Structure 1
Amino acid sequence: MPHFDKLKLTRSALVGALYVALTMAFAPISYGPVQFRVSEVLTLFPFLWPEALAGLGIGCLISNLAGGFGWVDVVFGTLATVMAGYLTMKSKSVLMGALWPVLVNGVIVGGYLSVLLNMPWHLSMAYVALGEAGVCFGLGVPLVKALMRLPEGRLGVLKGRDR
């Protein structure tokens, strides 16, 4: 029987719930052509905890179901967030990890929003990427660095990620 790790499952579930809660709390700025989705700060959590990726994906899927862009946003928006989280998890530094959500969401989300909203792709991409950069670099990097400074064992932060 596979090992069942309650801490990792709980952490993943908390990331998913927090993603939905933050997206809904900031709904007016979480959706649309110009978005500042505060919940995307969580795309950096797989850098610390690989298990956060599952919660990130589920939280994004639920949040996108509540948005107004239908199946395209549910499928491709969730895929973009999971892809960004995965690339962040594989990154060598938190700064490089923060770059992936900006690039991936800028291209994918910006791409389909430009089609759905009939606006120039480069503008749509820039709006999404700028919002993502504000969240990831302005909020995410300081948050992850603060979590990494906690004493070993607090929140289960791995000391091996001191990069």
Structure 2
Amino acid sequence: MKTNKVLFMTQAAMIAAIYVVLCLVFEPISYGAIQTRVAEALTVLPLFTPAAIPGLFIGCLIANMLGGGIMLDVIAGSLTTLVAAYLTWILRSKSKYLASVPPVVLNALVIPWVLKYGYGEPLPIPFLMGTVGIGEILTASIMGTVLLCVLDRYKNVIFRQGSYTA
């Protein structure tokens, strides 16, 4: 039982750290009205472990703070990631190829409003929905599906299976 909690926390921490590092390494394209956040490829990880839910949330929270985000962005962006990760976890039994739907849809619906009203972005909301949506499709859907296929082959080695009490 204690081993499962330690494993859960370790996986969540590692996922959060990788998310932050990917955002900072690719900083020029990770932030702004037109962004392609490479770290969003990790949004498929709730298919493999529930630890990805808090891991992605905390990673997004830290990345948004370190990226100079305003409080609205830090909170709304991170909560969007949390809800998307939870929905991906819920959808895991339906089809692994639905994993990117929650992050794409939720980010395309929420983040444009943050950009418009939090940062004063002059571009219209529908345009921002398109840019955020395209960025999410490139990262969460395309890159995420590639990551999903690779991890799926090695999931028993990378993600130790067991029952979690999260």
Answer whether TM exceeds 0.5 for this pair: yes
Question: How far apart, in 1, do the equivalents of 2:67 and 2:17 lie?
Answer: 16
- Deviation of 1:22 after TM superposition, in Å, equals 0.2
Which residue in 2 is equivalent to 1:84? 84
Which is worse superposed, 44-53 or 31-40? 44-53
Which residue in 1 is equivalent to 2:98? 96
Which is worse superposed, 51-60 or 29-38? 51-60
- Deviation of 1:118 after TM superposition, in Å, equals 2.7
Please state whether the residue corresponding to 1:56 is helix, strand or coil: helix
Q: Is the 8 A contact 1:48 1:157 kept in 2?
A: no
Aligned pair partner of 1:106 in 102, 108, 112: 108
- Deviation of 1:4 after TM superposition, in Å, equals 4.8
Q: Is the 8 A contact 1:147 1:157 kept in 2?
A: no
Which is worse superposed, 53-62 or 65-74? 65-74
Which is worse superposed, 27-36 or 105-114? 105-114
Runs of 4+, deviation exceeding 4 Å = none
Q: Structure 2 regions of 5+ residues with no counterpart?
A: 162-166
Please state whether the residue corresponding to 2:128 is helix, strand or coil: helix
Question: How far apart, in 2, do the equivalents of 1:84 and 1:25 lie?
Answer: 23
- Deviation of 1:131 after TM superposition, in Å, equals 0.2
Which residue in 1 is equivalent to 2:30? 30
More contact order relative to length (CA 8 Å, sep ≥ 6): 2
Question: How far apart, in 2, do the equivalents of 1:39 and 1:73 lie?
Answer: 16
Please state whether the residue corresponding to 2:143 is helix, strand or coil: helix
**In the comparison of the two structures, how many residue pairs are matched?**
157
Which residue in 1 is equivalent to 2:158? 155
Correspondence 1:145 to 2:141: no
Question: How far apart, in 2, do the equivalents of 1:26 and 1:108 lie?
Answer: 22
Which residue in 2 is equivalent to 1:51? 51
- Deviation of 1:28 after TM superposition, in Å, equals 0.3
Q: Residues 88 and 122 of structure 1: is their aligned pair in 2 closer, same or farther, counting only changes over 3 Å?
A: same
1:74 maps to a residue whose letter is V
What is the TM-score when the length of structure 2 is the normalising length? 0.88
Q: Structure 1 regions of 5+ residues with no counterpart?
A: 159-163
- Let me know the Cα RMSD of the aligned residues: 1.8
